[in-house]
Amino acid sequence: MIELGRFACFLVHRRFLVALGMLSLTGVATYGLLYHPPPQAPGNLRDDVALRSRGASFDLPQPDALLVIEVEDLFRRETVTALRSMARAIEQLDYVASLNWIDRIPVLNAFGLEDPLLPPDDASPQRFRLAREKVLHHPVIGGQLISADGRTLLMPVTFDWVAVTDDGDCTDRLLAESRRAVRNAHATIRVSLTGPVPLFLAHDDAFHHNRKKFQLIAYSLVFVISLLLFRKLATVLIVSAGPLLGVFWTWGILNWMQELSNPLTSVVLPVLLTMIGMTDGLHLMVHIRRLRNEGSTPLQAARSAIERVGIACVLTSLTTAIGFASLLLANNEFVQGFGRSCAIGVLFTLLAVITVIPLASTTRLGRSVHLGHRQQLVDRGLEKLSWFVDYLLHRPRRISVLGVITTLFLAAVCTTLRPDDRTRDAQPTGSPAYAALSHCDRELGGIELVNVLIRWTSTTPDQSPPIMRAVLDVEALIVAENPLLQFPLSIRNLLDAIPADTPLDQRMPLLSLLPDRVLASYYNAAQKKARVTVRMRDLGIARYETVFRRLKTNLEQLAERHPGFEFSLEGEPVNRVEALHQIVVDLGLSLGTAAGIILIVMAIVYRSLRIGLITVVPNLFPLAVTGGMLVVVGWPLNVASVCSFVVCLGIAVDDTIHFLTRYRFERAAGQTTAEAIRRAFVHVGTALILTTLILVAGFSTVLTSDLAMQRSFAAMACSTIIAALIGDLIFLPAMLMWWDRKSPGAVDS
Superfamily of domain 5-36+201-424+578-739 in CATH is Multidrug efflux transporter AcrB transmembrane domain (1.20.1640.10)
d(C-alpha 209, C-alpha 202), whole Å: 11
| From-to residues of CATH 3.30.70.1430 in the chain | 64-194
Residue ranges in the chain whose pLDDT is less than 50: 1, 39-57, 110-113, 375, 743-749
Q: What is the CATH number of domain 447-536+540-571?
A: 3.30.70
- Characterize the bridge pairing of strands 529-536 and 96-99: unpaired
Helices 616-633 & 396-414 angle (0-180, nearest 10): 40
Alpha-helical regions (H) of 53-124:
77-91
d(C-alpha 554, C-alpha 547), whole Å: 11
Q: What is the CATH number of domain 64-194?
A: 3.30.70.1430
First to last CA, the chain: 15
199 touches 434 (CB < 8 A)? yes
Number of H helices, E strands in the chain: 28, 9
Which strands form 65-71's sheet, in the order they lie side by side? 96-99, 152-159, 65-71, 189-194
CA dihedral of residues 572, 575, 580, 586 (deg, nearest 10): -120
Could you please report the per-residue DSSP string of 281-314? HHHHHHHHHHHHHTT--HHHHHHHIIIIIHHHHH
516 touches 106 (CB < 8 A)? no
Cross-strand partners of 69 = 153, 191
| From-to residues of CATH 1.20.1640.10 in the chain | 5-36+201-424+578-739
d(C-alpha 202, C-alpha 198), whole Å: 6
d(C-alpha 281, C-alpha 291), whole Å: 15
- Sequence-separated (6 or more) residues with CB below 8 Å from residue 632: none
Cross-strand partners of 152 = 70
Residues 636-680 have pLDDT tens digits of 887 777 777 877 777 778 888 888 888 988 888 888 989 999 888
Residues 193-239 have pLDDT tens digits of 999 999 999 988 887 777 777 777 767 776 777 777 677 788 888 88
Cis ω for the linkage preceding 483 (within 30 of 0): yes
Residues 415-433 have pLDDT tens digits of 888 888 888 888 888 899 9
- Sequence-separated (6 or more) residues with CB below 8 Å from residue 297: none
Whole-number pLDDT of residue 47: 37
Give the Å distances, CA to CA, from 363 to 302, 357, 404. 11, 10, 47
Whole-number pLDDT of residue 2: 55
Kindly provide the b/e burial profile for residues 521-532, where b requires at least 16 CB atoms within 10 angstroms of the residue's own CB: bbbbeeebebbb
